[in-house]
Amino acid sequence: MKAIQVTQFGGPEKLVYTDVEDVAAEKGEVCVRLYASGVNPSDTYTLTGTYAFSIPQLPYTPGLDGAGIVEAIGEGVTNVRVGDRVFVASTMGRKSTGTYAQKIVCDATLVHPLPEGVSFEQGAALGVPALTAYRALFQRAHLKPGQTVLVHGASGGVGLQVVQMAKSQGAKVIGTASKPEGKKMVQQAGADVVIDHVTEEMIEDVLALTDGNGPDIIIEFLANINLETDLKLIASFGKIVIIGNRGSIEINPRLAMQKECDILATALWNASKEEYEQSIHGVIGMLTSGALRPIIGTTLPLEQASQAFEQVTKGSGNGKLVLAID
């Protein structure tokens, strides 16, 4: 079968489209013929060989998320059947082959029915992004209906799903983005207000959107740039959840003291088995109701995985980046 194989750690040039051995499902496993695979920032970190959460044995096939049709099931598998449309969600740290391939074999607990009306590309955009969004909003921030959520960097694969999930629970959502196409996607996701990324000069403008109180929850994707501004903006007793960060920052802790706010962080890999299952049930519920529909930004063929990694590394795209698999 065709797959992306990595034999040396490094940059995108280490992703090689080639023939690899076919895979087969054993006891408790499922073999899925994949038609789409999601590209996550963590995939690019893993490729370097220095990512604390994942240093795979070489050679390996990247990819944690995908969608397709069940081709075979191993002994004891009862949650899916051959021919089912499914998505594979967040295989990191579990026995699995990678999703940058025509087929994947993984534990049956990682394979879930894909509702009709949800495309394979959208199914591949679930997994890490959807579970991260769910964990940030519900397991870390404990979102309540009627609260105001600022999604600081809402035009990416995770941010757009945060917007949709928060709206499904009756929150008021303010989303930020830097480019017109990104802002359009945030509007499409259902944000009540879409603005530029918040700077020191814009704090008063955003406070005016919240009757001077500030948002109850801020979901932050670039903490090294925005955290100090977030602290000035957050409502008293509010919660800032850090999903992304690319460097160090110096802040004044007195700002947190004044608000008695919480600075939280999330990494999906820390989720317990129970939290993973809770998140999956929540995501499937939103998919089934139509409240969650991943927004695809760019689709590239599997053989262009290196170009996909370059785009993710540069942060040049909006929406979710997906690989199409023939």
pLDDT at 313: 87
Question: Tens of pLDDT along 1-20?
Answer: 999 999 999 999 999 999 99
Query: 166 and 103 in one domain?
Result: no
* CATH at 320: 3.90.180.10
Q: What is the DSSP string of 229-266?
A: HHHHHSPTT-EEEE----S-----HHHHHHHT-EEEE-
pLDDT higher than threshold 70 for residue 93: no
Give the domain-ending residue among 254, 269, 284: 269
How deeply is 224 buried, as exposed, middle or buried, from its count of CB atoms within 10 A (0-12, 13-18, 19+)?
middle
Residue 33 resides in a domain: yes
The answer to whether residue 102 is domain-embedded is yes
- Residue 26: is its pLDDT beyond 90? yes
Q: Are both 167 and 264 inside the same structural domain?
A: yes
CB 103 within 8 A of CB 31: yes
Task: Examine residue 25 and state whether it is found in any structural domain, yes or no.
Answer: yes
Looking at the fold, whether 118 and 136 belong to one and the same domain comes out as no
Answer for the pair 19, 5: CB distance below 8 angstroms, yes or no.
Answer: no
pLDDT tens, residue by residue, 201-245: 889 988 999 999 999 999 999 999 999 999 999 999 999 999 998
CATH at residue 263: 3.40.50.720
What is the pLDDT, as a whole number, of residue 317?
79
- Do residue 63 and residue 112 come from a single domain? yes
**Within-domain flag for 289:** no
Asked if the model's pLDDT at residue 51 lies above 90, the reply is no
Residue 138 falls inside a structural domain: yes
Whether residue 280 lies inside any domain: the answer is: no
The per-residue pLDDT for 315 is 78
DSSP letters for 28-91: TEEEEEEEEEE--HHHHHHHHT--TT--PPSSB---SEEEEEEEEE-TT--S--TT-EEEE---
119 lies in the same domain as 146: no
Q: Which among 230, 252, 269 is the end of a domain?
A: 269
218, 242: one domain:
yes
Exposed/middle/buried for 237, CB within 10 Å: 0-12, 13-18, 19+?
A: exposed
33, 113: one domain: yes
Answer whether residue 112 is part of any domain: yes
122 with 133, same domain: the answer is: no
Residue 52 has pLDDT above 80, yes or no: no
**Arithmetic mean of pLDDT, 281-308:** 96
Assess whether 185 and 108 both reside in one domain. Answer: no
Range 36-48 average pLDDT: 94
Q: Are residues 143 and 83 in the same domain?
A: no
- Mark whether 232 and 318 lie in a shared domain: no
Confidence of residue 284 (pLDDT cuts 50, 70, 90): very high
Domain that holds residue 263: 129-269
Domain presence at residue 284: no
| pLDDT category of residue 92 using cuts at 50, 70 and 90 | low
pLDDT > 90: percent of the chain: 87
Structural domains of the chain, count: 2
Q: Do 69 and 118 belong to one domain?
A: yes
Q: Which of 269, 284, 315 is the last residue of a domain?
A: 269
